[in-house]
Amino acid sequence: MCWTNARDIANSGGALAVSIYTPYLLWNMTGFDLEIKSKSFLRQADVVSYKIKPSRIQNAQVDNLEQSCMFSYDTNDRKNRALIKIGQSGWSAPQSFEAVGQSFEAIIPREWEDDAGEAHLGITVDNGLGQYKLTKIVTIRPRYVIESFLDDAIYFRQPGAKEYSVLEPGAKKDIVFLSHEVARLSLRFGDSTRNKWYSISFHG
């Protein structure tokens, strides 16, 4: 569903300029496939969902245009909400995209008990610029990113897990799925198996 906006054209004898626009443009910066569907006030969520492929950025250039999706609700009601699903997660609680300048976290529950964990996403809402000024730009990205400023590799894993990942010096890694109610990771510095694992919590 697209919206329209009409305005008078000065000194035109009554002509109107009509803009046809999408109320929301969503950007998927999570690195995972993302789905979104609408939920109108006092109604069940839609069955049909929009699918958005993840972005790939190379040399500061967007490599995959499928990362964006035009989105709207069936009605123009500020009480409308959206539900989000990422990868193999369940559906999120209803989310609002109305407050421009807003940044907030969405925690999406796992769909199955043996899934990787809850998805932690950061969502920002901004006004479009120029010819897109009537559209709200909604950017969805990982809530947490770890970056190394050390000369040695960092090993990290979910608390209690046996498998781990390696963060090379100067590299950064998005953290989307966390398996505990309190967002935390276990870290080990250096490649020696005798080095101790440390637990860290994400705050803020």
69-80 pLDDT, tens digit each:
888 887 777 788
Band (126; pLDDT cuts 50, 70, 90)? very high
Task: Judge contact between 107 and 118, C-beta under 8 A.
Answer: yes
Band the pLDDT of 140: cuts 50, 70, 90: very high
User: What mean pLDDT comes out for the span 122-127?
Assistant: 94
- The pLDDT score that the predictor gives to residue 65 is 47
pTM of the predicted structure, to 2 decimals:
0.77
Sign of the alpha-carbon dihedral angle for 75, 81, 87, 88:
negative
Residue-wise pLDDT tens digits, 31-57: 888 998 887 765 666 656 777 877 655
**Angle 129-85-135 (CA atoms, 0-180°, nearest 5)?**
15
The number of residues making up the chain comes to 204
Q: Pick the residue with more confidence: 191 or 1? A: 191
Q: How much is the pLDDT for 138?
A: 93
Per-residue pLDDT, 181: 62
Is residue 101's pLDDT more than 80?
A: yes
Instruction: Tell me how far apart the alpha carbons of residues 160 and 109 are, in angstroms, rounded to a whole number.
Output: 19
Q: Residue 95 contacts by C-beta under 8 Å, 6 or more apart in sequence? A: 81, 82, 83, 84, 106, 123
Q: How far is CA 119 from each of CA 9, 32, 53, 71, 165, rounded to the nearest angstrom?
A: 48, 11, 17, 22, 18
Banded pLDDT at 188 (limits 50, 70, 90) = confident
